[in-house]
Structure 1
Amino acid sequence: MRLHRVPARTGWLWVKLGLRTFFKQPLALAGLFFMFMLLVTVLSMVPLLGQALALALLPAATLGLMAATRIAAAGQFPMPAVLASAFQAGRERARAMLVLGMIYAAGSLLIMGLTLLLTGGAPTPLVDPASVPAPGTAPSPEDLVLNPEAINRMMIGVLLHIPLGLLFWHAPALVHWHGVSPLKSLFFSALACWTNKAALLVYFLGWGVVFFGVSLLLVLLGGLVGGPQFIGMLLFPVAMLMSAIFFTSLYFTFRDSFETDEGQPPA
């Protein structure tokens, strides 16, 4: 395995590859993402340990989506079993993935606690409860006043999650495809992200442009067809669909950042 430095423009290529690959197998890749979200949601509802279990599963589930992308990019149809790819590569790598998941869960829970400590107090609803209209009445955009405390807490949480995200960006794939130990995978993931930081910046900016464009199109369609009600009806499925496409692009950020002697991650 070797670290591969890529030019900044590769970030936009990753965005385009994610879009192109998703639309090769849209039903399969969207369905796998929805299964992934459903599993995480159901696990998070388990009393006491549910949230920790859901967080611990995220690295393995992300690897499953990356494996599905790899299959779709080769022109094949990814089956649902691909989501369990992390646990189909032998006992040693499955154990390493579980360790990676536990580290991620511990880090995420630590960040959640630190966020509450820094912002002081219990979680605050994003929408100010005092602004919500009475039951049976339709809320207007002016009614939904965003709570500044909740926005502040959310922004701090996002900032604290950035280092954790960089540590785990490539880690599941390194464990699964290259047999790297969990701790070393975190180091190499962070190193690869730093080495290709210009490409990653272009990648995130590119996705920002795509998400903004889709949002603008949704607003325009809402104005032409059904107003705020139409936008509200489509907002969640469109957000889920765009998230599925974003996850499809993750594989390419890994593929071009690391290579074997053959230039590709091993099967």
Structure 2
Amino acid sequence: MKLHIVPAKTGFTWVKLGVQAFRRQPMALAALFFISYVAMKLLTSVPVLGSIASLVLLPSVTLAMMVATGESIQGHRPTPALLLVTFRKGRQHLRHMLLLGVLYALGFLGIMGLSALVDGGRFVQVYMDGMPVTAQMASDPSFQKAMWLATLLSLPLSLLFWHAPGLVHWHGIPPIKALFFSMMACVRNAGACLVFLFTWLGIGVLGALLISIISLLLGLGLGDESIGSMLLISAGMMMATMILTCVVFIFRDCFEPPESLLHEAPHDTPPSDAPTAGPN
């Protein structure tokens, strides 16, 4: 398995390919994401254990969306059965994916714990329990510090787990090695990853601004239960789905691609080879 280094402009290509893949099967991919979202919400409604279980299963959900995108670009219709892909590839694969999930849960809970030390746990309540943010809370320096600490620490956690599910699933890499190679791929391709990130940030800001303006002009409102608010939420979920459909193309360009993706959605920018990242 080799790690590929790609030009920064490849970040735009990843966005384009993800959108194109979504357009092939928009209803199927959006439904898969929605089912995953609802399932996670139902899990988190179970006190303590439900929230932990949802964190453990998050890498498996990411993998399911990657596999679903692969199905889409091959002309197949993804089905909800793909959400069980982690459980259908043998015991070793299941153990590795669950271990990956446990490591993610520990990392995430560790970040939340550190933020709680700063503001007494108010940011954790907002982030995990949906507690509303008051003006007094938002202006509190301790709350702001907790929010920024959690945000900054979440970045390396995301980089560690960005490629890890694909490495475990398609290359059979053990979880700890998969985390190392995932971080290495993100760092070595930082330019493309930043272009990808800021492109989606720009799309999100412009999309939210456009929907807000149209909602105000048409008198749809932006309150909690208004049509404008529902449009914003729907657009946000659609964008989140498209971001997840990009992941498999990022994975394919950064590593030796899985056999099922070798001949699909060709690379706009051929990657350059770097030294071998590690044994399979």
Which TM-score bucket, shorter chain as reference?
0.7 to 0.9
Secondary structure in 1 matching 2:5: coil
Residue of structure 2 in register with 1:138 after alignment: none
User: Contact 2:119 / 2:146 at 8 angstroms: preserved in 1?
Assistant: no
| Sequence identity percentage | 44
1:44 counterpart letter in structure 2: T
Q: Select which of 162, 168, 172 maps to 1:169.
A: 162
Q: Could you tell me the TM-score, scaled by structure 1's length? A: 0.87
- Offset from partner CA, 1:42-82 (integer Å, 9 cap, x none): 11122231111110000011100110011111121001111
Distance in 2 (alpha carbons) for counterparts of 1:150 and 1:240 = 27
Residue of structure 2 in register with 1:195 after alignment: 188
Residue of structure 1 in register with 2:204 after alignment: 211
Distance in 2 (alpha carbons) for counterparts of 1:195 and 1:88 = 33
Residue of structure 1 in register with 2:119 after alignment: 120
**How far did residue 151 of structure 1 move?**
4.5
Secondary structure in 1 matching 2:8: coil
Distance in 2 (alpha carbons) for counterparts of 1:22 and 1:65 = 11
- Offset from partner CA, 1:187-224 (integer Å, 9 cap, x none): 00011111111100110011111112211210221132
**How far did residue 150 of structure 1 move?**
4.3
**How far did residue 95 of structure 1 move?**
0.9
- Offset from partner CA, 1:104-142 (integer Å, 9 cap, x none): 11111111001111x231315553177xxxxxxxxxxxx
Secondary structure in 2 matching 1:4: strand
Distance in 2 (alpha carbons) for counterparts of 1:85 and 1:33 = 14
Coordinate RMSD, CA, aligned? 2.2
1:242 aligns with 2:248: no
1:17 counterpart letter in structure 2: L
2:36 counterpart letter in structure 1: F
User: Contact 1:127 / 1:147 at 8 angstroms: preserved in 2?
Assistant: no
User: Contact 1:2 / 1:260 at 8 angstroms: preserved in 2?
Assistant: no
User: Contact 1:126 / 1:151 at 8 angstroms: preserved in 2?
Assistant: no
1:159 aligns with 2:156: no
Q: Could you tell me the TM-score, scaled by structure 2's length? A: 0.83
Q: What is the number of equivalent residue pairs in this alignment?
A: 251
2:244 counterpart letter in structure 1: F
Distance in 2 (alpha carbons) for counterparts of 1:18 and 1:167 = 21
Secondary structure in 1 matching 2:62: helix
